[in-house]
Structure 1
Amino acid sequence: MTRFPLFLLTLFLAVLTSCEHHEEKEHDEDPALDDDIRYEVIQVGASRPTRELNLPGELESYYETDLLPRVSSYVKALHVDIGDKVVKGQVLAELEAPELTANLTEAFSKVKAAEAVYETSKATYQRVLRASRTLGAISPVDLDGGRTKAISDSLGVVAAQAHYASVQQLVSYLQITAPFTGVITDRRLSPGAFVGPGGQNTIPILKIKQLDRLRLRVAVPEAYLGDIHPGSPVQFSVRSFPDRTFTGHINRISNAVRPETRSELIEIDIANQKEVLKPGMYASARLPVSQTQEGSLYVPKSALVNTMDRSYVIRMENGKARRVTVQKGDDVIGEVQVFGELKAGDLILKTASEEIPDGAALNVQPAGK
């Protein structure tokens, strides 16, 4: 009888010792990365001082909008399709709403009825007014009553006309017109579709973009903001025409530095009368700068991690990985220009990845060894 509890006690102590040993082993191991992996690091290099800044950007329409219905209705007819050029005021689509047409007829009839009532009360008041010139023929109370009735009926005409104008405005919404000259870039619906509140109101009937005037948005690094001035010419190129150079001028500066990229947004207006350039094209803008104190920083393309919200490199600080947000500049063979809280000589991972957590302890070695 005494041996059985002793056996259980011995088994419990053995299990407890094994758990403690396992916990100590887990505590000693790095939970994120394998100690056997060694990551290659390189030094950030600086090129010669730059006098021309190459920055990426994307062409956008100066005006672009989705055309949505303002009233509940059905699509009666579409007069344009994708790729059609339109002018301002052109009728693009027709909608139908029988209840609105009926309301317009009703409102018009109420205007005519109110006008008839007013004409009657006005004529009555005028007769009473003429009769009141004969002493004792009309009492002052009847004269005031006739005048009040005529004024009230005149206000009824004004109210009926205002109601008719509001319904008429709603009926005018049954025609979708072009708000500016441009081209139709998308058509989502077809005749017979119900649009407006309660229907497919979140889907635009048409999408229109302006082509003869574009804008190019470029994010300029903080270090070069002193060289950016409104009206300065900017040359840029697009991949579709690698042998051509286009010119625009800086028209707007945001005057606010984005903290996540340490850059300021500028807009360049571009005349595009021949419509050679298209919205959405990737552009490489060349901005003349006068900075000569220090060179630009370049890193291998493999060292740059691009996510949905930012781009960054992984810098080694006291044996730990630190993500440093950067902005991309000019691309060269195998390397990319970066701007951010980096300096020449910083050690960064030659091949970075999103799977390396910020603050992770890494075993590193110089690249090529």
Structure 2
Amino acid sequence: MHLYSVLRLGLHVALITGMGFLLSQCGNSSAEKSRMDEAPVEEEIRYEAIRVAASRPASELNLPGELESYYETDLYPRVSSYVKALHVDIGDQVRKGQVLAELEAPELTANLTEAYSKVKAAEAVYGASKGIFLRVLRTSRTLGAISPVDLETARTKAISDSLGVVAANAHYSSVQQLVSYLKITAPFTGVITDRRLSPGAFVGPGGQNGVPMLKIKQLDRLRLRIAVPEAYLGDIRRGNPVQFSVRSFPNQTFTGRINRIANSVRPETRSELVEIDFQNKGGKLKPGMFASVRLPVSSSREGSLYVPKSAVISTLDQTFVQKVVAGKAVRVSVQKGDDSAGQMQIFGDLKAGDVILKTASEDLADRAPVKTQLVSR
């Protein structure tokens, strides 16, 4: 029992000593933390600033565009008929005037034969009446042999029958034209890009008239359409060379020329449609490809100032930039101009070389002191 009491007393003393040590350490940490909190911490905030530029920094625009065929069309049948034969398929190169498909319509062939027979009949009737008129005319030269009424009747009959021949020929020509529609020919040189029907299909009114038989596109000449922002329309000139690239050939640059300008600004996009012609020798590029166009533009505009969009703030009261004057951020009212390529054209009490905050802040009061560092645009 005596040994047990001694051990218990030693354990009790050790616990008290350990707790004292921990309390002393906590006290030291608290004191140290208190001294750190009391020490002044000086934080310095520096705002990025830039110089106002008197010209647009970009000398060219990168605009998206899409290549299109110079000519492309869907070929439909013009008369009710059946597809007799198709001489081409997808991917075939064709020449202008080449027969692409043949149709058959037996009733049209019968109508053509009938019209031809009517022409021959009209010609025979006219030949007879003409012969009668000529004989009457010769006989009338003998005084009293033919009355004037008979002569005039023969003349009228000959003229009437001649007009019958003209009418029969006109009808025959119209039927002949309809028969010619049974052969589908290529309207221009190009390539067949789609085929929808097969031999035996009924086409024309009452059939599959809503489906084109073939689609043909021109490949040796393409047009590239781009929408040019209104701010750069002064740089667009017909005939100017333009370079572009496509994803299929990332390491190559192609050159075309501006050939058509819409001369009308679209109000919804504030842009104008411009078409670039490209001579696609060898058919390397295909219609439907997306292109990235590099459009040269003037690098300066006299009397215009340009700043990043982030430097301009618009509130209910004013639109302003924050100009740095003697270490203070001074609000300068401006008016917005052209907005493109991440730059904003502004008009106001500023000049080229003035220093403004690159990213304006509405939290900064007017003439609030700021520390800045100049950065590139």
TM-score above 0.5, yes or no: yes
The structure-2 alpha-carbon separation of the partners of 1:130 and 1:317, relative to structure 1 and needing over 3 Å to count, comes to same
The answer on 1:189 being equivalent to 2:202 is no
Q: 1:252 aligns with which of 257, 260, 273?
A: 260
Name the residue aligned to 2:125. Answer: 117
The structure-2 alpha-carbon separation of the partners of 1:142 and 1:342, relative to structure 1 and needing over 3 Å to count, comes to farther
The answer on 1:176 being equivalent to 2:178 is no
Q: Match of 1:218, as an amino acid? A: I
Name the residue aligned to 1:142. Answer: 150
Name the residue aligned to 1:50. Answer: 58
Name the residue aligned to 2:297. Answer: 289
Distance, in Å, in 2 between the alignment partners of 1:133 and 1:124 is 15
Name the residue aligned to 2:100. Answer: 92
Could you list the per-position Cα deviations for residues 39-83 of structure 1 after superposition, in whole angstroms to 9, with x for gaps in the alignment? xxxxxx999710011100000000000001111111111000000
Q: CA deviation at 1:297?
A: 6.4
Alignment map for 1:1-369 (pairs within 5 Å): 49-292=57-300, 293=304, 337=341
Q: Match of 1:264, as an amino acid? A: E
Q: Which has the larger radius of gyration?
A: 2
Could you list the per-position Cα deviations for residues 96-143 of structure 1 after superposition, in whole angstroms to 9, with x for gaps in the alignment? 111111110000000000000000111111111111111111111111
Query: Retained in 1: the 8 A contact 2:307–2:344?
Result: no
Q: CA deviation at 1:291?
A: 3.5
Q: CA deviation at 1:346?
A: 8.7
Query: Retained in 2: the 8 A contact 1:79–1:93?
Result: yes
The structure-2 alpha-carbon separation of the partners of 1:295 and 1:244, relative to structure 1 and needing over 3 Å to count, comes to farther
Distance, in Å, in 2 between the alignment partners of 1:216 and 1:256 is 18
Distance, in Å, in 1 between the alignment partners of 2:343 and 2:96 is 43
The structure-2 alpha-carbon separation of the partners of 1:221 and 1:124, relative to structure 1 and needing over 3 Å to count, comes to same
The structure-2 alpha-carbon separation of the partners of 1:135 and 1:266, relative to structure 1 and needing over 3 Å to count, comes to same
Task: Decide which moves more: 124-133 or 203-212.
Answer: 124-133
Unaligned residue ranges in structure 2 (runs of 5+): 1-49, 317-338, 348-357, 362-377
Could you list the per-position Cα deviations for residues 252-305 of structure 1 after superposition, in whole angstroms to 9, with x for gaps in the alignment? 100111111111110000001211000000000001111435569689xxxxxx
User: Which aligned segments of 4 or more residues in structure 1 are displaced greater than 4 angstroms?
Assistant: 45-48, 293-299, 315-318, 337-347
Distance, in Å, in 2 between the alignment partners of 1:262 and 1:210 is 31
Could you list the per-position Cα deviations for residues 283-330 of structure 1 after superposition, in whole angstroms to 9, with x for gaps in the alignment? 00001111435569689xxxxxxxxxxxxxxx9976xxxxxxxxx98x
Query: Retained in 1: the 8 A contact 2:308–2:344?
Result: no
The structure-2 alpha-carbon separation of the partners of 1:70 and 1:340, relative to structure 1 and needing over 3 Å to count, comes to farther
Query: Retained in 2: the 8 A contact 1:262–1:340?
Result: no
Q: CA deviation at 1:216?
A: 0.3
Name the residue aligned to 2:367. Answer: none
Distance, in Å, in 1 between the alignment partners of 2:276 and 2:103 is 38
Q: Match of 1:88, as an amino acid? A: K
Identity in percent:
75
Over aligned residues, Cα RMSD in angstroms? 2.8
Query: Retained in 1: the 8 A contact 2:305–2:345?
Result: no
What TM-score results when the alignment is normalised by the length of structure 2? 0.67
Unaligned residue ranges in structure 1 (runs of 5+): 1-44, 300-314, 319-327, 330-336, 348-369
Q: Match of 2:212, as an amino acid? A: P
Query: Retained in 2: the 8 A contact 1:251–1:268?
Result: yes
Q: CA deviation at 1:345?
A: 5.9
Distance, in Å, in 2 between the alignment partners of 1:262 and 1:166 is 50
